[in-house]
Each structure stands twice: as C-alpha cells, then as structure tokens.
A and B are shown apart, each in its own frame.
Chain A
Amino acid sequence: MALHEILLQQLFNGLLIGSFYGLVAIGYSMVYGIIKLLNFAHGDIYMIGAFCGLIFLTIAAPVIGAGWPSLIVGLLISMTLVGLLGVVIQRVAYRPMLKAPRLSILITALAVSMILYNTVMILSAGRYRVFPAEVGTESFFIGTLRFTETRIILIVAAFTLMFILHMFITRTMYGKAMRAIALDRDTCQLMGIDVYKIIAITFFVGSALAAAAGIMAGVYYGTIHFFMGFLIGLKAFTAAVIGGIGIIPGAMLGGLLLGLLEAFGTQIPFIGTVWKDVFSFAFLILFLIFKPNGLLGRAESERM
C-alpha cells in the first residue's frame, strides 16, 4: 500500500469511529445546551445501551436469529428503554438540582455515572462479554481499500440517525422549543412552553442516540464491558467542545473531526497508537485555550 492508500484507509476508519463519537457527543451537547449540565453519566448511558442490545440479542437469537433484522429491532427497543432510563435519571437526579448551584448538579452527574457502571460491573461480574451479533465480517476491496458490509451499514445507520435528529431539531415544534429553551429558559416558561417536558424529551433523545452508538460499537468490536463508556464519554465531551458545546451540528462535526484526527494522528511517525488519547485530549486543551466556543460557536454568545 502506498502512503495515499494508507491515508485513504485511515480516512474511512476515522469516519466510522468519528460517527460513534458524534452520536454520543450529540447527547452531551443537547443536554448542555438546554440545562447547562455536563452530563458525565452520558458515557455510561452508551455502555448501558450496549448491554441492553446484548440482553435483547441473547433472548431473541433462538427465535429470530441475531442477524441484521433482529439487530434493528434490538436497536429500536434498546433506544426506547435507554431513552426512558435517561428520562428517569433526569427526573430523579437532575431536576431537583436545577435551581441549585451548578457545581452540585455536576457532582450529581458523576455520582450517577458511578452508580451506573458499578451496577453493571456487579451484574456482569466485571467480565468482558461477547456481543452475539451474527453479521458479515467478510471484507471486500475497492482498489486496496478494505470495506466490510458491517462497517458500511454502521456508517450509514449513524448518518441516518444524525439526519433524523437534525430534522427533528429544525422541523418540529419540539425541536424549536429545545432551541428556544437553550436561548432563554425563563422567557420560554413565560411563553407557555412546558420546559420540564422539553427537558425530558431532550434527555430521551440524547440517551437513545447514545444507546444506538453503544449497540453499534458492540456490533463493530464484538465485545463489551462495564467500563467501555468512560473513555468514549471523555472523547464525546472533547468532540462537543471542538464543535462548540451546546450546538448540535457542532457535536456531529466535532465527533467526525476527532475520529479523523485520531486516525491520521496514529499514522504520524513516533506518535503511534499509544499516543492516540493524548493526541485527542491535547486538541481539547488547544480548543479550550484558543477557541473555547468551538468551531461553530459564536464568540459573543454568553452560554455559560
């Protein structure tokens, strides 16, 4: 493989990882936009999504198999359940803290994260679990570029979900209400918008997307475990900051960009795979210093 072919392959690898980051980053960004909370439990929601998918496939496999049809059903069911879990977490843990100082709700989010991953650690005995999806892993080549059916379907699915979300935010009344609340919560309340209902919907949508990313990661990598959400939570946070936290297209863009940065970064001589995370978080620091509003954020908007 010549250098340009290696880079092209890495472009494709980066897009796939980037779309996972993007899906998780969207939830981060939506919640931040609407209640100014950095939801550190969001990575664990992603992990719970993967485990939901695992449980569904284990139950469904003897009945309808574990191929794409049952994966799609599993994806929808898990998205719904995990979305509802997000709503419950919001209702029980975050809503009572909405009027409290910002630090309190942040610490609550850390506590929720610990509760979630420790619960799954106990239930899964702390072991790695095989994600039982039976999908094609045969690779085919276009030129020297390697593709698999699974990777292509996963990328298409991720972009479809992002597109549906974009339509939801820009074309529906709920989406309009979310954007309005992000601008000015008190005025929205005065205008008769049911703010708490919209917050609940935001958590539902964000959590459902994270669950989808979790299942897709399970299909792609083949194994899942209770701590898988920690690192991707931080990466998604980085992606959200890069794109401009609180801005949904920014989260998608930031996720894809971070995936690509990592994929190309590992090809730089002497950086290699072991420095991948250092590379990502160095970008986080650079963005926080030089462009704290992110790529799509406007400097004058006072969002904090």
Chain B
Amino acid sequence: MLNSKKLFILFLVTAMMAFGTFGCGDDGPADDADGEVLIGIMVPTTGSEAADGIDMENAAKLAVEEINARGGVLGHRIVTTTGDDGCDPSMATAAASQLVSEEVIALVGGYCSGATLPTLAIYGDAGIPFVVAASNATSLIDENPGWAFMINSTGLDQAASAVDKFIALGVETIGVIDSGDAYSADLKAQTILQWEAAGYEVVADDTVQRGEVDFSAFVTTIMANQPDAIYWTGYQAEGALLIRQLREGGYEGVIMVGDGSSAQELIDLAGPAAEGVLCTGPPLTDFLPAAQSFIENYEASFPREPGAYAALMYDATMLLADAIERAGSFDSAEIRDALEATDGFEGLAGPIMFTEQNTLARSNFVILEARDGRWALVE
C-alpha cells in the first residue's frame, strides 16, 4: 500500500515535469475569402521571451498595414494569424501544426532557435515558405528542408565577432556558459572552436537549464579560475541574473552576452550590474539609419519601443511581400523560388541575399555596450 502510493507520487511528479508547459496560441482568422491572403507569424508571445516575440509580432503587423495601405500584394489584402511558440520546442510544434492547418500561404517569424528547429520539417512537409527573422543557430542549416530562409546572420558569424572582440580587448582566458537549448549551445560550441583555434584557452565551461535562477556554482568556479572574460550565450532572463550574481560575487572582468540577451530587458532586469556589459548584437533597430521612420511609425502604433528584432521582422515581412510580387502568384513553390532568387533586397538592416544554404550572405553583427542603462553602439 505504502509503496504503491509512493510510486504513484513518483509518477505524478514525472508527469508534471513532462507536461510542464503552459499557455496556448491565439486563434486568428482562418478566413481566405476572395481578395485576402493569410500569412502566419510564429513568435513567442508568452513565456520568458515574450518581450521580443511581441515586438516582432507588432513589427510584422506594421509591415502588413503598410503593404495593405498601398494596395496589398497582387491586389490581395494580407491577413495575419499568430502562432505562439513560447520559445519551447513542444509548444512550437503545436503552433506550427496549427498554422499549417489554418492554411497560411507563407510564414514569417522564428525567434528562439530551439523552438524554430522542429518546425522547419513541419513547414517543409507542408510546402510553406518560411522567412526566419531572428533564429540563427547553425543547427538550423542542417535541418532546413529548403523552405526556410534565414535573414539574420548565423552563429558562426556571431562567434567570430565575439572572438575578434575578445582578442581586441587583450583577453587571454574566457569562461563560457549556455542554457542548453539549440541556439545557445550552438553559439557556445562555435565560440569555443574559434577561440581555441586562435590559440587561447577556455578555463570554465558550464551549462544551466532554462529558467535557472541560481548561478552560485558557476560563480564559485569563475572566482576560482579568474578568466579575463565571460561569454553568456543564452537569453536575457537567465543572463540578467548571471550578470548580477557575477558582479555581486566580485567578478571584475569583461562580461559579454550573445544576441539572445540583446533586449533592453536584460539591462532593466540586471540593474546597475549591467553597466559595461558587452553584447554581440543583431543590428538593433535604434542604430539603423534607415529605420528612423520605422521607429516613429512603430511608436505611434504601439505603446512601446520596437526592441532588438523588430527591424529584422519588418524586413522579413517586406521581403516576403516582395517575393510574392516577383513570383506573380500565391503558389508556395513559386514564392520559394522567388525568395531564393532574392538579390540585394533593401531591408532596414541592409541588403538581403542568400547563400546556397538559404542563410544571409553577409555578417550583420555589431558590438554593443550597456551605458547608463541603455545599449550603445561600440562598433
């Protein structure tokens, strides 16, 4: 009796861990009445990455509004529907299936690489072109069945930016830490490879779980090994806590974070400890000369700032509309071919053209530094 009850509890605990997901996507209109085309948006609108996700959703809607105002694409109004991937692989597959069943003709979005990864095959099987605005782990390249197009530079480029910056700062030893998901593990692995290839040493290497709040073990290791710099490759919610605890623990070296932590939220959550933190960032909307009118329009439409990835998402949506125009039809295969043939489409974040692997054919990373509670462009 006693043991069977204990076993039941055990089962329950396991079940709770397995189903520890939450939230669900909102239902958009599945209407494809005459004169309208349905485009899917897949971003995290709940969970720890909701801030960036909602910014991206807003940016896509803003782009659609502008496209519709000038007559739509091929004479059709664009309607959008949003699937919430929650930055979680299992939620993302559910959201992807939902979007496919709503019969979207194409998709934009993709923030967390770990969540985007399993959806590529789903969209590939359904034959739906997908313009990936932010996700950039190199693992996406291998999993891409040919229907996804990445307009953010990949982890390889980012690791190179980080390594270059460390060398320029005279750093000789680094500590690296990721959060175990596809994106951050990939960026960490690429960084270690390139750093060691450059002849330097990695003295601390750790992985934490998403949602971790306590980094005391890592901080203790760091204080014991004293690396010149630390590179956090995960997202801002954990990154902010890590920065606080490192500084509180007396670490005085360089702290750099990857583009997953480039949201303003990182600085807000980390408080004064964030001062001087570096970031290998995406082309932040604020620093793009071409994006100033976009920022004004965005802030006029939504009660918030555009955030790190809004410009890329706007570009993704505009690129998709442009590809549909060039394809001259709503046929998925023709849209895909048109995307493939993109040659120097002028986005807010610079010209877009693709490699044979459907990734952006240039590096778009910049180095940012937290100064007075804001990101500032260093180079």
Contact = CB atoms under 8 A, between A and B. Distances in A.
Interface of A: 1, 5-6, 9-10, 13, 17, 38, 40, 106, 110, 117-118, 121, 125-128, 130, 137, 139, 141, 146, 148, 217, 221-223, 225, 227-228, 230-231, 234, 237, 263, 266-267, 272-274, 276-277, 281, 284-285, 288, 292, 302, 304
B230 to A, nearest CB: 14
Given A128-B48, A130-B268, A304-B1, A223 B208 contact: no
A272 B16 contact: no
Contacts of A227: 22, 211
Contacts of A17: 214, 216
A106 B12 contact: yes
A138 to B, nearest CB: 9
Contact of A274 (B10, B209, B224): B209
Given A38-B9, A277-B209, A137 B248 contact: yes
Contacts of A285: 10
Interface SS majority for chain B:
helix
Interface stretch (B64-72, B160-168, B236-244, B278-286): B236-244
Contacts of B22: 117-118, 121, 227
18 contacts: A5-B224, A38-B9, A127-B51, A130-B268, A137-B248, A139-B248, A146-B249, A221-B241, A221-B244, A222-B271, A227-B211, A267-B217, A272-B206, A272-B207, A272-B217, A273-B208, A274-B209, A292-B2
A35 B217 CA distance: 38
Interface residues of B, number: 51
Given A117-B22, A128-B269, A222-B241, A6 B220 contact: yes
B1 to A, nearest CB: 7
Contacts of B3: 292
Interface string B236-271: 010011001001111000000000000001001111
Contact of A121 (B13, B23, B220): B23
B9 A273 contact: no
Contacts of B6: 288, 292
A234 B13 contact: yes
B223 A1 contact: yes
Given A234-B17, A292-B3, A223 B207 contact: no
Contacts of B220: 1, 6, 9-10, 13, 267
B289 interface: no
Given A38-B9, A292-B2, A126 B209 contact: no
Given A273-B208, A274-B208, A130 B269 contact: yes
A47 B102 CA distance: 37
Contacts of B9: 38, 288
B13 A237 contact: yes
